[in-house]
């Protein structure tokens, strides 16, 4: 639950977001297309700059605009490996109209540790998904607390999560998580009367299921059945990414017009604020009368947290933050859970192993609760493997705020866009221990990390970069990991999972821009266990 989630979130919805263009009125599409052609042509004309001698080597390309995008889309793993072998750990590529410095291997950790003032993740994401701008043009009642005037380290969401969502602090949410998951099975997994099997699109259904959990955890038990808020939270991310695609394709005036008048981003923000605001005001009024009370959910904690510029937040500002915590958590959790379920879809052997482990834990404890999932070492190892293999080929986009020199003297110039080759690091034998079973690093081994205390699913480092590294490590990973393990345990107890592909094999992940793996929209088959 941090800005790192925005990276995969933007990429995840890009293919779906493209369909939003087709939903616009025909005259709007026609005019927009003409303007876009001119705009892209203008973007392709630029002045060459003299490159420093120690700048990253440029990988040659021969197709205007698309550049290396075609090679990346076909086989990103092979392309990055060949570039690394030919040009070294750091090189510059050109893809879909944009240049990017790609960092691989041990240099990735150097970038993570450079600091936001040197390599800014916030500004890197803003280039491709201008959340601040899109929010301002869609919803004019509140200002997004982001940008130069609002230091990232003072972001209220990050402060609250970092201070209240450590592994030993999240037990207060267990009952709500249990209740929400039961509601998920009752409301979101639909079976026809008399049928024991159903097909689900994990990329859609899991968004709703995780939103159902988040509504209780972040806004309180009273929102357990608030379908209006749950729908708004689940759909907010999709609307934001559709708006981001429009902004990236068109000149800003045209894009802004389309976002304002044809996309429901502002509507989802308004709905979220309207639903949460009465609760925030009720708490504030009660505390003004009876004194401050101990917070039991995220929005209550936000009431007691200063804004990013240290001011005391109004009720409206507090309610406005609800969309951001949903944006940062719901998508990330659902995509990781989706990867894991697809990984199991053609591996009944692993399903049996995990199911037996859950059964042993139930026999030992008498029940299965979120905290008991810490007693499932194979489940945790499997989840870490799923995270490792589902990572971005190139992700964690950063913007160089000033010249930055790597340990080998390579210069990343001010203004450069930097992308990190995460999947390459995760399958690099120099960085990743292959484990006792000697299963190749490009294959899934549920036992790879069993018995290795320093290799839990929440342990970050150069061999697991999904949650970031160091100070920038996602502070919400403890809660997210427990939530996913618990949902997996509950699903495996109730259902067998199969792929719906003709071959019966796992549906391959989709790719966005040739860089990021996406949860397949190929349905999964859930069959009730007898």
SS3 readout for 360-388: HHHHHHCCCCHHHHHHCHHHHHHHHHHHH
> Which sign does the torsion angle of CA 324, 332, 231, 368 carry?
negative
The answer to whether 65 and 90 are in contact (CB under 8 A) is: no
Q: Is 148 helix (H, G, I), strand (E, B) or coil?
A: coil
Distance from C-alpha of 102 to C-alpha of 91, rounded to nearest angstrom = 5
Binding site feature residues: 474
Strand order from edge to edge, sheet including 197-200 = 197-200, 524-528, 495-499
Place of tokens 């008399």: 194
CA within 13 Å, CB half, 34: 5
The answer to whether 386 and 414 are in contact (CB under 8 A) is: no
Distance from C-alpha of 33 to C-alpha of 45, rounded to nearest angstrom = 19
| DSSP secondary structure string for all residues of 439-508 | --TTS--TTTTTT-GGG-TT--BTTB-TT--GGGS-TTHHHHHHHHHHHHHHHHHHEEEEE-STT-SPPP
Binding site feature residues for heme: 474
Q: Which residues of 25-34 are buried (b: 16+ CB within 10 A; e: fewer)?
A: eeeeeeebee
The answer to whether 413 and 403 are in contact (CB under 8 A) is: yes
């Amino acid at each position: 639950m941090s800005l790192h989630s925005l990276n995969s979130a933007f990429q995840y919805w890009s293919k779906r977001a493209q369909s939003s263009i087709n939903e616009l009125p025909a005259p709007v599409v026609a005019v927009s297309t003409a303007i876009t052609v001119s705009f892209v042509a203008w973007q392709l004309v630029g002045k060459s700059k003299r490159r420093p001698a120690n700048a990253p080597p440029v990988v040659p390309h021969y197709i205007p605009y698309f550049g290396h995008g075609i090679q990346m889309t076909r086989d990103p793993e092979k392309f990055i490996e060949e570039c690394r072998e030919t040009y070294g750990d750091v090189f510059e590529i050109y893809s879909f109209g944009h240049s990017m410095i790609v960092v691989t291997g041990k240099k990735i950790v150097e970038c993570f540790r450079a600091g936001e003032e040197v390599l800014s993740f916030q500004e890197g994401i803003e280039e491709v998904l201008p959340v601040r701008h899109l929010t301002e043009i869609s919803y004019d009642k509140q200002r997004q607390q982001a940008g130069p005037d609002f230091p990232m380290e003072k972001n209220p969401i990050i402060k609250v999560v970092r201070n209240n969502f450590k592994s030993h602090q999240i037990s207060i949410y267990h009952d709500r998580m249990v209740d929400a998951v039961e509601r998920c099975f009752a409301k979101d997994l639909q079976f026809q009367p008399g049928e024991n099997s159903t097909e689900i699109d994990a990329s859609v259904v899991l968004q709703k299921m995780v939103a159902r959990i988040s509504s209780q955890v972040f806004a309180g038990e009273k929102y357990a059945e608030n379908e209006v808020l749950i729908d708004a939270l689940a759909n907010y991310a999709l609307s934001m990414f559709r708006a981001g695609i429009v902004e990236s394709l068109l000149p800003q005036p045209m894009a802004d017009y389309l976002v304002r008048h044809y996309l429901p981003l502002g509507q989802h923000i308004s709905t979220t604020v309207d639903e949460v605001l009465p609760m925030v005001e009720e708490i504030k009024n009660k505390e003004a009368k009876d004194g401050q009370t101990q917070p039991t959910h995220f929005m209550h904690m936000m009431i007691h947290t200063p804004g990013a510029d240290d001011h005391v937040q109004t009720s409206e500002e507090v309610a406005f933050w609800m969309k951001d915590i949903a944006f940062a958590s719901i998508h990330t959790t659902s995509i990781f859970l989706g990867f894991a379920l697809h990984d199991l879809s053609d591996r009944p052997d692993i399903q049996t192993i995990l199911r037996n482990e859950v059964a042993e834990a139930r026999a030992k404890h008498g029940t299965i609760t979120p905290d008991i999932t810490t007693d499932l070492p194979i489940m945790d190892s499997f989840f870490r493997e799923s995270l490792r293999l589902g990572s971005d080929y190139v992700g964690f986009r950063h913007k160089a705020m000033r010249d930055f020199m790597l340990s080998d003297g390579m210069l990343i110039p001010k203004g450069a866009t930097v992308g990190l080759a995460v999947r390459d690091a995760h399958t690099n034998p120099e960085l990743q221990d292959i484990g006792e079973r000697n299963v190749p690093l490009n294959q899934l081994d549920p036992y790879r990390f069993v018995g290795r205390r320093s290799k839990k699913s929440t342990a970050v480092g150069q061999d697991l970069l999904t949650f970031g590294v160091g100070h920038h490590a996602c502070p919400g990973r403890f809660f997210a990991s427990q939530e996913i393990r618990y949902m997996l345990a509950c699903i495996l107890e109730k259902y067998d999972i199969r792929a719906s592909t003709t071959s019966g094999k796992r549906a391959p992940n989709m790719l966005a821009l040739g860089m990021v793996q996406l949860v397949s929209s190929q349905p999964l088959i859930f069959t009730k266990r007898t």
